[in-house]
Amino acid sequence: MMDLLIRGGTVVDPAAGRAYESDVLIKDGRVAAVEKKITARGARVLDAAGKLVTPGLIDMHVHLREPGQEHKETVASGTCAAVRGGFTAVAAMPNTDPAADRPEVIRYVLERAREAGRARVYPVGALTVGSRGKELTEMGALREAGAAAFSDDGRPVAGAHVMRRALEYARMLGVPVISHCEDLSLAAGVMHEGLVSTMLGLKGTPAAAEDVAVARDLILAEMTGGRLHVAHVSTAGAVRLVREAKARGVRVTAEATPHHFTLTDRAVAGFDTNAKVNPPLRADADVAAVREGLADGTIDVIATDHAPHAAHEKEVEFDLAPFGLVGLETAVGLVFTELVAGGVLDVVTAVAKLSTNPARVLGLSRTIEPGAVADLTVIDPEAVWTVNRAELVSKSKNTPFHGFKLKGLPCATIVGGEVHLAARS
């Protein structure tokens, strides 16, 4: 592999809490030097003037759909979308068909990722057999096969007893439980329950469906000492509960998605099924609370919940459409436009929530210092571009952000020293 010199960029280092101008030299897949001016004869040069050089971005909440629903996405197409979106790694949710509830499925996903040779994939193991919420999987065997965390995402773990045991086992294994917090007895709607659902005549799911489930899981995390990661926080109540739990010393982390800090339930007003997600897009006060949670550190991670669906599945009546949107290729633009330019987060904190924080949750490390694996992302914070669903490389195009003008674009995604250019034409 040829040496690579990233020249003239601004290195953003959340571990050190600072950003500084520096060259970065990569040799044999690792960072060899980080210095003001590096001369490297024969190295390939990547001009990063005016750009940010960050630790490799990690999206810890992605649905790659393989095995079983390859018409929506595959490991190959999903990891292609990931590197185009600036992500050097993704955590793959286990609600495939079959579910990642046995070691063979974990190994299958890892093998597909190796073949694809794009972003790294960290499979998440199913908590319960078939993600049906009844009996726990062989979590130790799944961990050994490569599961980085455990979750039944796509649906909640309905029984508190099952969640208790899951947190206890996960604690022994030193991995987090990622919880999709939703009380199904309250969650019968197709959008957020509020003024907009009433006006549209659509059945709503109240914020309480999320709050109740978050409260239960926090209590169980406190009781067991297990590490809980709350997926896709979308309500003011959930933000408050996580904030209070953290203050008490509960071992909890949380993530928010770009769509939940950008859009409100008004995005559903045109009956656009691409705005039908679970948890649903919420009210103004919830969006404001999620942003506050990001700003004060209650919410550690930004993750996309990339959930591809084919056009024929989404182009149906709102009530019948599946939940989910594709997020990998728009996340960086939305973070820089809504949060950095929007004055919610400084650049270093925003990058931390996309790289070093998810790494910490998953027990990985991401640094830019000599010896570190060369997983890096180069971002142009000034590039202005318009989201065009036809240009997405994900197999599915279900984005509610088509036509959005964004500022901030990943231009190179470097995985183990190998450069994947992410720039749009």
Q: Which amino acid does the sequence have at 216? A: R
* Least spacing, CB of residue 122 vs Zn ion, in Å: 15
**How far apart (Å, rounded) are the C-alpha atoms in residues 376 and 378?**
7
Q: Would you say 217 or 305 has its CB closer to Zn ion?
A: 305
Strand partners, 396: none
Q: Name the phi and psi angles at 420, rounded to 5.
A: -110, 115
**How far apart (Å, rounded) are the C-alpha atoms in residues 178 and 242?**
14
* Least spacing, CB of residue 384 vs Zn ion, in Å: 30
**How far apart (Å, rounded) are the C-alpha atoms in residues 92 and 74?**
11
* Least spacing, CB of residue 417 vs Zn ion, in Å: 31
* Least spacing, CB of residue 154 vs Zn ion, in Å: 6
Q: Would you say 305 or 338 has its CB closer to Zn ion?
A: 305
CB 326 within 8 A of CB 63: no
Closest residue (Cβ) to Zn ion? 180
* Least spacing, CB of residue 207 vs Zn ion, in Å: 16
* Least spacing, CB of residue 114 vs Zn ion, in Å: 24
Q: Is 47 a catalytic residue?
A: no
Give contact residues for Zn ion (rule: CB under 5 A). 153, 180, 305
Choice among 152, 153, 305, 380 that is catalytic: 305
* Least spacing, CB of residue 303 vs Zn ion, in Å: 9
Q: Would you say 103 or 154 has its CB closer to Zn ion?
A: 154
Which residue has 């940010």 as its token pair?
52
Q: Would you say 13 or 73 has its CB closer to Zn ion?
A: 73
Q: Would you say 61 or 243 has its CB closer to Zn ion?
A: 61
Structural tokens at position 205: 């799911």
Which residues does the annotation mark as catalytic?
Answer: 305
